[in-house]
Structure 1
Amino acid sequence: MTVTKELFGKTKSGEEIYAYHISNNAGMEAVILNYGCTIKNVFVPSKDGGKIDVVLGYDDPEVYFANDSFIGSTVGPSANRIANARYSIDGKEFSLPVNDGPNNLHTDHDNGFHKRIWDAKEGENSVEFTLKSADGDLGFAGNRVFTLTYSLDDDNNLELHYHATSDAKTLINLTNHVYFNLSGHNAGNIENHTLLLNASKFTPVVDGAAIPTGELEDVAGTVFDFTKEKTIGQDINADVEQLQCVGGYDHNYCVDGQEGTLRQAAFAKSPVTGITLKCSTTLPGIQLYAGNFLKNDNGKENTKYKARDGFCLETQFYPNSINQPGFPDAVFGPDRDYDSVTVYQFK
Structure 2
Amino acid sequence: MNGKNLIMAALLLWLCISCDKGKEMTLSGLNVRDFQTEIDGQLTNLFVLKNKNGMEACITNYGGRLVSLMVPDRNGKLEDIVCGYPTIADYLAQKQNFGATIGRYIGRIHHSTFTLDSITYRLTPNTGPHCAHGGPQGFASKIWQAEQLDINALKLTLLSPDGECGFPGLVEVHLVYLLTDDNTLDIRYEAETDKPTVLNLSHHSFFNLSADFTTSVEDQLLFINADAYTPYDSLKCVTGEILPVAGTPFDFTTPHLIGERIDTDIMQLKAMKGYDHNWVLNTAGDDTKLAARLTDPKSDRSLEVYTDEPGLQVYTANGLSGAMVGKRGIAYPKRSAVCLETQHFADSPNQPQFPSTVLRPGEKYKSHCVYRFGTVASE
Q: Is the 8 A contact 2:214 2:332 kept in 1?
A: no
Q: Is the 8 A contact 2:214 2:331 kept in 1?
A: no
What residue in structure 2 maps to residue 335 of structure 1? 362
TM-score norm. by structure 1 comes to 0.95
The structure with the larger Rg is 2
Deviation of 1:60 after TM superposition, in Å, equals 2.0
2:224 partner amino acid:
L
What residue in structure 2 maps to residue 211 of structure 1? 237
What residue in structure 2 maps to residue 126 of structure 1? 153
Deviations 1:164-211 (A, max 9, x none): 000111110011111000000524211111000001100011112x21
How far apart, CA to CA, are the structure 2 residues paired with 1:24 and 1:32? 15
Q: Which has the higher strand share?
A: 1
Is 1:191 paired with 2:218? yes
Q: Indicate the SS of the match to 2:325.
A: strand
What residue in structure 2 maps to residue 112 of structure 1? 138
Is 1:143 paired with 2:163? no
How far apart, CA to CA, are the structure 1 residues paired with 2:48 and 2:312? 27
Q: Indicate the SS of the match to 2:175.
A: strand
Is 1:221 paired with 2:262? no
Q: Indicate the SS of the match to 2:340.
A: strand
Q: Is the 8 A contact 2:307 2:369 kept in 1?
A: yes
Q: Is the 8 A contact 1:260 1:284 kept in 2?
A: no
Deviations 1:293-330 (A, max 9, x none): 12443200000001101110111100001100000000
Q: State percent identity of aligned pairs.
A: 36
TM-score norm. by structure 2 comes to 0.87
Is 1:178 paired with 2:205? yes
What residue in structure 2 maps to residue 31 of structure 1? 58
How far apart, CA to CA, are the structure 1 residues paired with 2:366 and 2:309? 9
What residue in structure 1 maps to residue 98 of structure 2? 71
- RMSD after superposition: 1.8
Is 1:289 paired with 2:318? no
Is 1:273 paired with 2:299? yes
Q: Indicate the SS of the match to 2:285.
A: coil
Deviation of 1:46 after TM superposition, in Å, equals 2.6
Q: Is the 8 A contact 1:63 1:298 kept in 2?
A: no
How far apart, CA to CA, are the structure 1 residues paired with 2:275 and 2:84? 21
2:133 partner amino acid:
H
Alignment counterpart, residue 330 of structure 2, candidates 278, 296, 303 = 303
Q: Indicate the SS of the match to 1:264.
A: coil
1:286 partner amino acid:
L
Q: Which of 36-45 and 68-77 deviates more?
A: 68-77
Q: Is the 8 A contact 1:96 1:104 kept in 2?
A: yes
How far apart, CA to CA, are the structure 2 residues paired with 1:229 and 1:47? 20
Gaps of at least 5 residues in structure 1 are none
Deviation of 1:123 after TM superposition, in Å, equals 1.4
Q: Indicate the SS of the match to 2:341.
A: strand
Deviation of 1:108 after TM superposition, in Å, equals 2.0
Q: Which has the higher helix share?
A: 2
What residue in structure 2 maps to residue 238 of structure 1? 264
Gaps of at least 5 residues in structure 2 are 1-25, 375-379
Q: Which of 95-104 and 139-148 deviates more?
A: 95-104
2:66 partner amino acid:
I
How far apart, CA to CA, are the structure 2 residues paired with 1:71 and 1:249? 17
What residue in structure 1 maps to residue 127 of structure 2? 100
Deviation of 1:67 after TM superposition, in Å, equals 4.1
| Pairs within 5 Å for 1:160-179 | 160-179=187-206
Deviation of 1:72 after TM superposition, in Å, equals 0.8
How far apart, CA to CA, are the structure 2 residues paired with 1:45 and 1:307? 25
How far apart, CA to CA, are the structure 2 residues paired with 1:336 and 1:233? 42
1:298 partner amino acid:
V
Evaluate the alpha carbon distance shift between residue 320 and residue 66 of structure 1 in structure 2; reply closer, same or farther with a 3 A threshold. farther
Is 1:155 paired with 2:189? no
What residue in structure 2 maps to residue 54 of structure 1? 81
How far apart, CA to CA, are the structure 2 residues paired with 1:216 and 1:225? 14
Alignment counterpart, residue 118 of structure 2, candidates 91, 94, 97 = 91
Report how many aligned residue pairs link the two structures: 343
Deviation of 1:154 after TM superposition, in Å, equals 0.7
